[in-house]
Amino acid sequence: SVLFFVLPFIESKIWFVLLFTAVGFMVLFFTAAWLTDPGYIKKQDKDHLFELMVKNDPQSICFDCCILKPPRSKHCELCNACISVYDHHCPWINNCVGCK
């Protein structure tokens, strides 16, 4: 087996079970982080952008998404979307990391 070349000093089968369990959990959590919605805020039509500018501070408006940004939100240039609680864009999962 290939594992005997990778782990030559392990003779007990419990180590193989633990190794496969750990790798399985890593794949599961990676897939969950990759496919989970980080808290995207839905875009609005550009028709009501002027109305937002008149009623609110221009610094609190995302002009790309045409929305009033909540606190701690930020527009991700790579995803082209606003994230409600933005942390960073992770290149490993090609998704934003945030809180939904």
Please give the mean pLDDT across all residues of the chain: 84
Residue pair 64/52 in contact (Cβ under 8 Å)? The answer is no
Structure confidence by residue, pLDDT tens digits, 19-48:
889 999 999 999 998 999 999 988 887 777
Residue 28, pLDDT score: 96
Collapsed DSSP state (helix, strand, coil) of residue 13: helix
Residues taking part in catalysis? 90
Residue pair 33/99 in contact (Cβ under 8 Å)? The answer is no
Q: Is the pLDDT of residue 9 over 90?
A: no
Residue 77, pLDDT score: 93
